[in-house]
């Protein structure tokens, strides 16, 4: 029975964020732990009455404390560029490249001295943990990019397949050709294009090349994706023993629904999360 595109699109999700999407706390704790000793040494400056002199003295005795300073400014690097009316400077924090006086100037002009000497914070270790948490939020895009892949893989496993036995992750066309001696020149531009599928499922009767993605927001990339997968669907249809399957979802598709519908009309094996929840994989992979 022909599926209704509008009803199918209406079941798309606005998000697939899981519990670990928001902050990777193990990573946060590892990063802070790497500079824990240095941060605790710097803690001795909190509430200092003469922080510049105390900082210079501290840096002379414990030069290694410099390596935690970039984190206090939410910078994940060993060097920081800064300029003023006196010139431009590229401060190194893994090994000093300026005088202690210049680093004290850096601390003053960036506001770190004020943060520490006025007791605005009570503990640099806690402060750094907060900074790391904020920095880690930038990693959500990367984590989000893998959410749909991971979700699809869970359903593949639930359908009874075993990784590296009858399903494979991130497999290139040439690897599929070499492993099963199948001619995929129709989708590789006669061997000139090296495409990688997110997953490949192998059954006794068929090889399934799988693509996965989720779009929570719109953009020009969605139209390009729909068009390219439409072409891939038509090219795959000419190959005996190979089937292209696309798992996609996300409310972002509403802005590119016409292009998606064109692909939907020519690609019988295009599914969303609801389809997976209803057991589509056990019906498709036979």
Digit-coded pLDDT (tens) for 240-261: 999 999 999 999 999 999 999 9
Do 249 and 16 meet the contact criterion of CB atoms below 8 Å apart? yes
258 DSSP 8-state letter: H
2 DSSP 8-state letter: P
Contacts from 72-77 at CB under 8 Å and sequence distance 24+? 72/112, 72/115, 72/124, 72/127, 72/128, 72/131, 73/110, 73/112, 74/131, 74/134, 74/135, 76/135
- In sequence order, the 6+-apart residues with CB closer than 8 A to the CB of 104 are 52, 55, 56, 59, 113
Residue 259 parent element (H or E): helix 257-266
Q: Could you tell me the fold of the domain covering 5-19+140-284? A: Restriction Endonuclease (3.40.91)
Residue 217: CA count within 13 A, CB half-sphere: 4
Tokens, residue 271? 């599914």
Per-position pLDDT tens, the chain of length 286: 679 999 999 999 999 988 888 999 999 999 999 999 999 999 999 999 999 999 999 999 999 999 999 999 999 999 999 998 888 999 999 999 999 999 999 999 999 999 998 878 889 999 999 999 999 887 777 777 689 999 999 999 999 999 999 999 999 999 999 999 999 999 976 655 788 999 999 999 999 999 999 998 888 889 999 999 999 999 999 999 999 999 999 999 999 999 999 999 999 999 999 999 999 999 999 8
- In sequence order, the 6+-apart residues with CB closer than 8 A to the CB of 222 are 215, 252, 253, 255, 256, 259, 260
- In sequence order, the 6+-apart residues with CB closer than 8 A to the CB of 119 are 46, 47
Radius of gyration of the chain, Cα coordinates, nearest whole angstrom:
27
- The predicted-structure confidence for 204-222, as pLDDT tens digits, reads as follows 999 999 999 999 888 888 9
Reported pTM: 0.74
Domain boundaries, the chain: 5-19+140-284, 25-138
How far is Cα 174 from Cα 190, in angstroms, rounded to an integer? 11
How far is Cα 187 from Cα 229, in angstroms, rounded to an integer? 11
């Amino acid at each position: 029975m022909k599926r209704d595109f509008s009803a199918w699109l209406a079941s798309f999700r606005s998000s697939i964020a899981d519990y670990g999407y928001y902050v990777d706390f193990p990573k946060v704790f590892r990063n802070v732990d790497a500079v824990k000793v240095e941060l605790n040494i710097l803690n001795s400056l909190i509430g200092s009455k003469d922080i510049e002199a105390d900082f210079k003295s501290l840096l002379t005795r414990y030069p290694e404390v410099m390596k935690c300073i970039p984190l206090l400014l939410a910078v994940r690097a060993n060097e920081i560029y800064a300029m003023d009316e006196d010139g431009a400077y590229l401060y190194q924090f893994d090994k000093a490249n300026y005088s202690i006086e210049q680093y004290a100037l850096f601390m003053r002009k960036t506001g770190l001295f004020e943060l520490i000497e006025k007791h605005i914070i009570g503990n640099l270790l806690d402060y750094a943990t907060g900074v790391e948490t904020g920095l880690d939020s930038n990693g959500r895009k990367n984590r989000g990019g893998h959410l749909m892949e991971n979700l699809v893989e869970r359903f593949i496993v639930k359908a009874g397949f075993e990784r590296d036995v009858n399903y494979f992750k991130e497999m290139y066309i040439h690897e599929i050709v070499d492993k099963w001696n199948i001619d995929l020149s129709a989708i590789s531009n006669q061997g000139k294009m090296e495409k990688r599928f997110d997953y490949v499922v192998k059954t006794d009767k068929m090889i399934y090349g799988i693509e996965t993605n989720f779009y929570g927001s719109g953009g020009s990339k969605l139209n390009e994706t729909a068009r390219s997968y439409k072409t891939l669907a038509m090219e795959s249809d000419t190959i005996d023993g190979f089937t292209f399957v696309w798992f996609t979802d996300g409310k972002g598709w509403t802005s590119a629904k016409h292009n998606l519908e064109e692909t939907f009309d020519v690609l019988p094996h295009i599914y969303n999360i609801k389809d997976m929840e209803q057991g589509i994989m056990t019906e498709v992979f036979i």
